[in-house]
Amino acid sequence: MSKRIGVGVISLGWMGRLHARSYRALAERYQGLGAEVRLVAACDPVAAARDEAVAALGFERAHADYRELLADPEVDVVSICSPNFLHHEIALAAVAAGKPFWIEKPMGVSAAQSRQIAEAAEAAGLITAVGFNYRHTPAIERARQLIRDGRIGRVTNVRCWLIADYGSSPEGPLTWRHSRDKGGSGVIGDLLSHGADLVQYLAGRIESVTATSAQFIPERPIPTKAGIGHSGWEVSDELGPVENEDWVAVLARLEGGAVATMEASRVAVGPRAEYVVEVYGTDGSLRWNFEHLNDLFVCAGRDQEFQGYTRVMAGPDFPAFSIFQPGAGTSMGFDDMKTVEAAQFIESVLTGEQLAPSVADGWAAAEIDEAAVASAADGRWHDVPEVTGRTTWGS
């Protein structure tokens, strides 16, 4: 018999709506999960969003205050999709309410906030999930298998870059993402954290970093109307200061002796979402690009007659692929990765085993982010503190 699990989603921006869709998809995609997932309650301060939650998104009710949602006895698990500066407050309230939660990264505006969230959830014995969705691409999961099976030999170095254009226009709005108080770091927390998690997931713990960063657009128009995600905003003619970085480059040392380079930009002109990870070993290498997320490029062995990459299309032999598509050539998409994430979260709750990326993983990425910020300020190498708790990238 399936267990009924009531879901609450806090904040109905683009990500909150995606969480709702991901939960709804479980009934079709993960029929053997053993859970009947109900969208019990949503929370958003905007009345129109609350109305849409019930009328279009499938929620039974909606609240203006997240405390009402957390107090709802029919809400068993919670998604926290609010802006960064609210994560800490809401996550600690979820811990106090005893509710397992799925939270988007970064888990706060500092490593200290992320640590407090992780340690509180761990002390309470709560199952958690953090939105490192790029992990869940079948091609990345297959790459991890190949690396762990020794197919490319000993890992020597990793290259990872996340180059995007969502902030490339100087006329783009001065949103909370550009505020140190509300967003924390800029592209470091927004994109580099994904890259740091991918590097650790594939190649091992990052022990130390040195970094440089830059701000290419120092002022932006002040908004007059809020949008959803990166779109739908309206702006005035008045400009305000951008307080955090637009671009960063990082050199990292990994546990075991490998090295990595990481780069991230939110203001590139050309690439739309070129998120790439390359892992090099003594006997081969692997390459994946989010813009072609169903392809994995593999070079396994130095002694092939025709040296170079083989393009391997994700198919039913790749982890999770057959849940969504019947065969190679029929592509999965971004939303599918979040459905995998939702399934891992719910299965973790059902079994008590931490399968989804955990708050310890979120804390680990935040420590890398903060070390990069510190290094960009003083030009030195910074050690990355090792975190406690149930990390999953090393399992």
- The CATH T-level fold of domain 3-133 is Rossmann fold (3.40.50)
pTM over 0.85: yes
pLDDT for the residue 307: 84
Sequence ranges of the domains in the chain: 3-133, 135-333+355-383
Closest CA to 391 of 122, 116, 123: 122
The CATH architecture one would assign to domain 135-333+355-383 is 2-Layer Sandwich (3.30)
pLDDT for the residue 368: 98
Q: Is 360 exposed, middle or buried (0-12, 13-18, 19+ CB in 10 A)?
A: buried
387 CB-near residues (< 8 Å, 6+ apart): 115, 118, 360, 363, 364, 367
Helices within the chain (DSSP H only): 14-29, 47-55, 66-71, 84-97, 111-124, 138-148, 180-183, 187, 193-203, 321-324, 334-351, 359-378
Q: Which residues of the chain have pLDDT under 70?
A: 1, 225-233, 395
pLDDT for the residue 232: 67
Q: If phi over 0 gives left and psi between -120 and 50 gives alpha, with beta otherwise, what is residue 363?
A: alpha
Q: What value does the mean pLDDT of the chain take? A: 95
- Give per-residue pLDDT as tens, 316-328: 999 999 999 999 9
pLDDT for the residue 302: 82
